[in-house]
């Protein structure tokens, strides 16, 4: 049996396949319903930076998941909250797509075009990256702006298409040139989990992380003292291993979780 | 006194100021003339990847330097020769500007657009860098293509304009995503010096490197066993120091070198 007052779920690879644009639904409707009936708190964790919280919520609802705004935690949301924590309202140079800029603005920050106005630089996935954008970011970071990576995911892969330039690659370019290291907020950064726990007022030991990836989900959650449930889908291409004691429960499918929770 | 059969000069910061587009001439005409009169071999070394050898030669001539094609050694030239050494004729995906592609083609290679055709990826300074270009490079390198950096210069700076995205930043992005390390051919890589020595058939101990930068010029040349002359222009912003014995001769101006050479 495993129980907690907050259930945090990695979405991609647990509820749906990796890509949000056109995902395959894997499951999770039953466990979400069961947890809501039992009055547990829920957080959907995703390191992607393409979608604002609102857009992410709408996309999950379109796939039949009953989730509220409060329960949806893409890294873009954590980035915006993190900047509020440090700056109150910040002037932010965004290297990223529309969803990231919208999320930053939804939290009261100002997205700036001129690097001289930037108190912070926020870098996410950006299919429109250019020489001028990176140059602006280099200048702002060099001039002392806060350097935030929404995530630093190294390997981005589009099914049927192959690898595409990753947000981690953009971050690495700016880090190399400026000799400064970005503050990463998205999973597996502990900041992602800390902001979620803080929002719900839950202690780590009273929270559980449910994910499909040992390194990106289980390890950071356990470092903070959270409980851990690994969803070990057989359709994952790779076979994962992990140190004894890292994972509290291993399941083949997320909806099996319901029967391990005390009612 | 210092003598050698080959005199290699770093161009930028020694003969002319940093930027080739609109440089200030610092000197060097007198020493070049003296060396030619004495029958010494000459090589102009530059790590930049913007210009083909031919274009570079023409630009130096327009500034009054009497140099032949054989004497002009931008990193783009070394990149093309390096690829010949490994592949004979290579199919090359180029991330860089027109001059680099022209140089690659001038040495008989084929510049390809489709990453599947690329035996090698060559990365230089590229003000037209895009998401798609980096994605192509990531795919080619991931698929096993030879990964060549014309240089990996970290800090690119345009006078009056500030820093601009460096070629090193592009290389770092691809390295981060693919977990592969580029072969750097441009100075301070020893490959730059080795190809020049090899071309002229001169042993390192019979060659001298004349440059303005301790780390980028003196150190790699001395590692190979070359003699070293540091041009310590007072107009350099920073003050350099170096280990005892690294530099054979320090001069304030490159044209002073003439009087230290045996006739």
Q: Indicate the range of A25-29, A80-84, A156-160, B204-208 predicted with least confidence.
A: A156-160
Q: Is residue A92 exposed (0-12), middle (13-18) or buried (19+ Cβ within 10 Å)?
A: buried
- Interface size between A and B, measured as CB pairs under 8 A: 90
B138–A contact, CB cutoff 8 A: yes
Contacts of B134 in chain A (CB under 8 A): 129, 165, 169
d(CA B222, CA B239): 20
Asked if residues B115 and B142 have their Cβ atoms less than 8 Å apart, the reply is no
Q: What is the pLDDT of residue A190?
A: 94
CATH level 2 (architecture), domain B88-184: 3-Layer(aba) Sandwich (3.40)
Q: Is A172 on the interface with B (CB under 8 A)?
A: yes
Residues 173-212 of A with CB under 8 A from B: 173-177, 179
Q: What is the mean pLDDT of chain A?
A: 94
CA distances from A54 to A87, A95, B28 (A): 23, 20, 64
**B233-241 contacts at long range (C-beta below 8 A, 24 or more positions apart):** B233/B13, B233/B26, B236/B13, B236/B212, B240/B213, B240/B214, B241/B214
- Among residues A52, A39, A58, the alpha carbon closest in space to that of A79 is found at A52
At A127, is the secondary structure helix, strand, or coil?
A: coil
* Domain boundaries of chain A, sorted by first residue: 6-47+187-260, 87-184
pLDDT digits (tens, 9 = 90+) for B69-119: 999 999 999 999 999 999 999 999 999 999 999 999 999 999 999 999 999
Fold observed for domain A6-47+187-260: Rossmann fold (3.40.50)
pLDDT bucket at A41, cuts 50 / 70 / 90: very high
β-strand partners of A211: A230
A221 neighbors A209 (Cβ within 8 angstroms) = yes
Tally of CA atoms within 13 A in the half-sphere of B147 that contains its CB: 24
pLDDT of residue A102: 98
pLDDT of residue B32: 97
- B5-38 pLDDT tens trace: 999 999 999 999 877 777 889 999 999 999 999 9
Mean pLDDT, rounded, for B212-220: 95
Cβ proximity of B115 and B143 under 8 Å: yes
Looking at CATH, the fold of the domain delimited by A87-184 is given as Rossmann fold (3.40.50)
Beta partners for residue B184, in sequence order: B149
- d(C-alpha A23, C-alpha B83), whole Å: 43
pLDDT at B220: 96
- Please tell me whether residue A65 adopts helix, strand or coil conformation: coil
Asked whether this chain's domains B6-47+187-260 and B88-184 adopt the same fold, the reply is yes
Query: Which of A153, A158, A165 should one mutate to test binding to chain B, selecting the residue with the greatest count of B CBs within 10 A?
Result: A165
């Amino acid at each position: 049996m495993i129980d907690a007052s907050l259930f945090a779920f990695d979405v991609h690879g647990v509820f749906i396949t990796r890509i949000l644009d056109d995902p395959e639904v894997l499951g999770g409707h039953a466990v979400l319903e069961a947890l809501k009936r039992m009055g547990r708190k829920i957080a959907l964790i995703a390191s992607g930076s393409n979608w604002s919280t609102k857009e992410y919520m709408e996309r999950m609802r379109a796939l039949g998941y009953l989730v509220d705004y409060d329960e949806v935690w893409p890294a873009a949301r954590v980035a915006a909250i993190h900047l509020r924590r440090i700056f109150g309202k910040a002037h932010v140079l965004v290297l990223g797509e529309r969803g990231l800029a919208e999320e930053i603005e939804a939290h009261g920050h100002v997205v700036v075009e001129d690097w001289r106005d930037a108190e912070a630089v926020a870098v996410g996935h950006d299919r429109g990256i250019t020489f001028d954008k990176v140059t602006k970011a280099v200048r702002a970071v060099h001039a002392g702006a806060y350097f935030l990576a929404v995530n630093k995911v190294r390997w981005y892969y589009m099914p049927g298409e192959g690898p595409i330039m990753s947000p981690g690659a953009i971050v690495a370019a700016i880090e190399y040139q400026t000799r400064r290291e970005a503050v990463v907020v998205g999973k597996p950064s502990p900041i992602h989990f800390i902001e979620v726990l803080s929002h719900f007022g839950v202690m780590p030991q009273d929270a559980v992380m449910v994910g499909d990836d040992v390194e990106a989900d289980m390890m950071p959650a356990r470092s903070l003292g959270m409980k851990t449930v690994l969803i070990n889908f057989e359709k994952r291409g790779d076979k994962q291993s992990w140190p004894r004691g890292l994972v509290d429960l291993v399941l083949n499918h997320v909806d099996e979780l319901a029967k391990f929770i005390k009612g």
